[in-house]
Amino acid sequence: MKRENEFAVGVVVIAAFAVVVAGALWLSGAHLGRTEAVYTARFRTVGGLGVGDPVVLRGVRVGRVEAIRLASGNWVEADLKIYAGTQPPPRPAVIAASASLFGEWAASLVALDQLPNDPNIKQAITEAQAAGSGKWPGATLPDIGQLTAQASRIATDIATVSSRIQTAFDSEAVIELRRSIKDFGQVADKLVRVTNDQADVLGSVGSNLRQGSDVLAKAATNFQTTLGRVDSATNQGQLATILNNSSATSANLKSASQDFRDLLDAAHKNQESLVRVLVSADSVMSRISNRSGTLGLLVSDSTLYRETTLTMIQLRQLLSDIQANPRKYFSFSVF
């Protein structure tokens, strides 16, 4: 009985011990019998990174976070245990980031010259690198909680803006808006009427176009008839007669044109004579204007004018006297 108890109890205890040890080692991802190197990374904050979280290189798990502790200078240091056989980048940096939406975090190893194009990360890495002492520089990406907090702040801002809009959009604004809508309705009614009128006009235009096209069709028909007649005239020689008459008319027109050209030449010559006459007249008028010559003196000197007039009067008196008493001045004798 005693032996049986010892064996049963021993088996159960050993089995339980094996289950606990093996399960704990397997679940925590421990690599027994393999040498692991421990590197220390420096962060300003590790965010949600915790002990036991995976360390990944290009997406492949190559280790785990062994320890996290506060360090001097407001730094946080994380010990990263890297599995044997893993070659970290030549100049490594560590980025702690949320691995999923459900609180999983991971520390990613990246080369310093292959950092993400994020100014915050670059600044954090540069700052951690400047602290020196041979530790890997680290940066932390915001987790989903921070992002949702930011989204919450944006939502709050939108709510504030909405509240302000609601305040500005008071009952008077509503009345104005309703009035505007009413006006807009009236404008729409007018537009409908104008549209209907324009539709009527377009309808009449279309009707006219239809009539015009009918007229054109008739003209085309007439033209076709004319062409038929021309065709028949061509057949009976009438067209040749018309063409002959046209040729004679054209010759007459040519002759008339020649006569008209001769007339124009003569007129051109007479124009030269007229120009000369005008030049002479202009010379005479100039001399008169300059009070030179007989006519000029006659125009400018009133004495001569009066004497001339008096002479003319005396001549008329003489002629009148001659007409009245011809014998006084003339004597006829035959013998």
Partner 1 sequence: MIERLGRKTVDAIKAVGGFGHFVGDLARAVPDVAVWGRLTLVQMRRVGVDSLPVALFIAAFTGVVLALQASYTFTGTVPLYFVGTLVGKTMMLELGPVLAGLALAGRVGASMAAELGTMKVTEQVDALETLAYDPQSFLVLPRVLAGTTMFPVIVALAILTGIVTGWIASLVLLDLSTQEFLKGLKLFYRFKDTWFGLFKSATFGCTITLVGCVVGLSTRGGAEGVGRSTTRAVVYSAVLLLVLDAFWALVLLR
Q: What is the CA radius of gyration of the chain?
A: 64
12 lies in the binding site for partner 1 (CB under 8 A): yes
- Could you give the 3-state DSSP secondary structure of residue 127? helix
Interatomic CA distance for residues 52 and 65, integer angstroms? 5
Q: Please say whether the beta carbons of 90 and 41 come within 8 A.
A: no
Q: How far is the CB of 61 from partner 1 (least distance, A)?
A: 11
Determine the interface stretch with partner 1 among 76-84, 96-104, 188-196, 303-311 (rule: CB under 8 A).
Answer: 96-104
Q: How far is the CB of 63 from partner 1 (least distance, A)?
A: 15
How many positions of this chain bind partner 1 (CB under 8 A)? 24
Of 96 and 110, CB closest to partner 1: 96
Interatomic CA distance for residues 66 and 69, integer angstroms? 10
60 lies in the binding site for partner 1 (CB under 8 A): no
Of 18 and 242, CB closest to partner 1: 18
Interatomic CA distance for residues 31 and 81, integer angstroms? 11
20 lies in the binding site for partner 1 (CB under 8 A): yes
Determine the interface stretch with partner 1 among 95-103, 152-160, 179-187, 298-306 (rule: CB under 8 A).
Answer: 95-103
Q: Which of residues 31, 38, 52, 161 is near partner 1 by CB under 8 A?
A: 52
Q: Which of residues 70, 72, 102, 237 is near partner 1 by CB under 8 A?
A: 102
3 state SS for 201-236: HHHHHHHHHHHHHHHHHHHHHHHHHHHHHHHHHHHH
16 lies in the binding site for partner 1 (CB under 8 A): yes
67 lies in the binding site for partner 1 (CB under 8 A): no
Q: Please say whether the beta carbons of 82 and 63 come within 8 A.
A: yes
Residue 103 is which amino acid?
Answer: G
Output phi, psi for 54, to 5 deg.
-75, 150
> What residues pair up with 68 in beta bridges, in sequence order?
78
145 lies in the binding site for partner 1 (CB under 8 A): no
5 lies in the binding site for partner 1 (CB under 8 A): yes
329 lies in the binding site for partner 1 (CB under 8 A): no
Determine the interface stretch with partner 1 among 10-18, 247-255, 292-300, 303-311 (rule: CB under 8 A).
Answer: 10-18
Of 9 and 202, CB closest to partner 1: 9
Beta-strand ranges (E) seen in the chain are 36-43, 54-57, 60-71, 75-83, 92-98, 105-111, 136-140
Q: Kindly list the residues in this chain that would bind partner 1 in the complex (CB under 8 A).
A: 2, 4-6, 8-9, 12-13, 15-17, 19-20, 23-24, 27-29, 51-52, 100, 102-104
